[in-house]
Every structure is written in structure tokens, then in C-alpha cells.
Amino acid sequence: MAGMRIAVTGASGLVGSALAHDLRRDGHHVVRLVRRAPRTDHEVEWDPHRQWVDAPGLIGCQAVVHLAGAGIADRRWSPARKRELRDSRVLGTAAVAEAVASLDTPPDVLVSGSAIGIYGDTADRRVDEDTPPGHGFLADLCQEWEEAAEPAVEAGIRTAYARTGLVVARAGGAWGRMFPLFRLGLGGRLGSGDQYWSFIALRDEVAALRHIIETESLAGPVNLTAPNPVTNREVTAAMGRVLGRPAALAVPRPALRLALGELSSDVLGSQRVIPQRLLDSGFSFAHPDIDGAIEAAWSNR
């Protein structure tokens, strides 16, 4: 589908900026939602905390991709930070969903961000989109996040929840912090290293979001993870191989809990997530395995 008008929130973030660049390269008109007065016709103002979007600016959009939200792992989870994490997602999603639902001619699809945190700690059990939500702060947050898009669903807009895993990228996210440490030979497993990390290469994340936009059969939850999740121990070994550095260090569980507080439960938790709906819809991964994903990120491919 060439020449579409597509609105994107979170367009300055790791995934959003990569998506916007990819769409523009292919001739699509990308409209960024910004929290200030627009400076060009490529921008639309919104205020997620006030649950307000300049809805007329979305007229003519065939798709809206909503990715905005405060960074989960940016700092410790104080009560105030938890409120910020929730409000930035739930209030923002409600604002976008209500705005698109209010249009006389709404977009064909709303792709609303979510995360595999919705499954909770699944240990070594394989889970897919049919698995019910788990328990804990992140699981509860993700459920509220997805439920906030209900106005779009009720308006008959195809709505997909992009449940993203750990994005392998050099410029940000978990790997953005890991690469410098491993490059210096200071990387190592976290805790026992037996916890599963469900990852996805940035290139595949962008391609999967576009695949959802273009595939009319995809609605509801869609896991955006590579088909071969690996343990943290395997991630550590792969980082050592790709960067050519030893990775023999380990950070014990008590130290992680002391440093990260409640956030350590996310780092030490295990999620073995399978992207069943992407696979069933014919999506092809460029980097289905961890070594390839790390190599692509390290070389910025």
C-alpha cells in the first residue's frame, strides 16, 4: 500500500522514529503527534495527560500507530513513577482511541502499543496470544493499556495490540545499555541467567508493525517477538560471541534487587513468548535468532 497517510505517536522514540523513517522512505505521509503547537503540516498536537487530541488533524489518515509511553526501565518504580507509567499509557491510549472514534471517516486500523509484560512471569512455559494475562504490576498495567483502546473497537475500527518484547537495537532500550558494557568486557548474565528473554530485532519490529497495518485479518493481541526466545544466559553468550569479548561476569539477584527495587522483578522474570499470529499471517522474520539480531544491531543494519 503506497502513499498512505499514517499518524504516529511516540515518533521520537526508538521504535517510533525507525517506523516513521521506514514509512517515509517508501513514500507514505507520516503525521507525528506532538505535545506542542505544530510547526508543519506533518504534525498534530495532542496532550495525553489531558486526554486531548486535535482530532481534525487525523482526518484522511488510513492508519494510526500509537507507541507513546514513559520508559519502563528508565528508573526505579516509586509510587509516583508507577502512576506516570500508567497514566502515560492508559490516558494517552484513551485519548487516541476517542479521537479516531470521533471522526466521520475514521482510519482503517489503529495499532496500539502494548507489551509482553501482560503475560507476567511464565517461567519456561511457552505462551502465545491465546494465553490469559498474568499477575503483577506490568501485567495489570498492560491490561489497562489495551482496554483503554475500547472506544476505537466500539467504533468498528480494526484495532491491534502490538505486544512488543525486548527490542534489540544499538541506540536505545535494554540493548542500548548492554552494548557499551559488553564492549568493555563488563557484560554478564543477570541472576541465574535461566530466565527467558523474548526479543525482537528493531528491523523486524518495524516490519511487523507495517505488516499489521497492511494485513486486514490481524486484530486484537499480536505478539511482536522473534520466534526463538532465548534465556538471559544465551543472550550473554551471544553478546560475547558477536562483540568478541568475554562475558563471564554475573550480577547476583540480591544486587539487582538492591539496585533496581521492584523493577528487578521485570529483569529477573521469565517470558517465553511465541508470535503465533504473526507466523500464521505469513510474516517472515529477517532475524529470527539472537545472534543475527545482535549482529544487525551492532552494525546498525
pLDDT reported for residue 256 = 46
CATH number at residue 40: 3.40.50.720
Q: Which of 237, 267, 270 is nearest to 252 (CA)?
A: 267
Per-residue pLDDT band at 254 (split at 50, 70, 90)? low
Indicate if the pLDDT at residue 175 is higher than 70. yes
Per-residue pLDDT band at 262 (split at 50, 70, 90)? low
The total of structural domains in the chain comes to 1
Portion of the chain with pLDDT greater than 90, in percent = 75
pLDDT reported for residue 248 = 72
Who contacts 265 (Cβ-Cβ below 8 Å, separation ≥6)? 121, 136
Instruction: Tell me the C-alpha distance between 213 and 65, whole Å.
Output: 9
Phi, psi of 193 (to 5 degrees): 80, 0
Stronger pLDDT, 14 or 246, i.e. the higher one: 14
Q: 98-136, pLDDT tens digit by residue?
A: 999 999 999 999 999 999 999 999 999 999 999 999 999
C-alpha cell at 294: 545482535
pLDDT reported for residue 191 = 81
Could you list the residue range(s) of the whole structural domain that residue 198 is in?
5-298
Per-residue pLDDT band at 238 (split at 50, 70, 90)? very high
Quick one: how far is CA 50 from the chain centroid? 23
Name the pTM for this structure. Answer: 0.93
Average pLDDT score, the chain: 91
The DSSP bridge partners found for residue 114 are 163
Q: Are strands 43-47 and 52-53 parallel, antiparallel or unpaired?
A: antiparallel
Q: 184-216, pLDDT tens digit by residue?
A: 887 888 888 899 999 999 999 999 999 999 999
Q: 26-67, pLDDT tens digit by residue?
A: 999 999 999 999 999 899 999 998 999 999 999 999 999 999
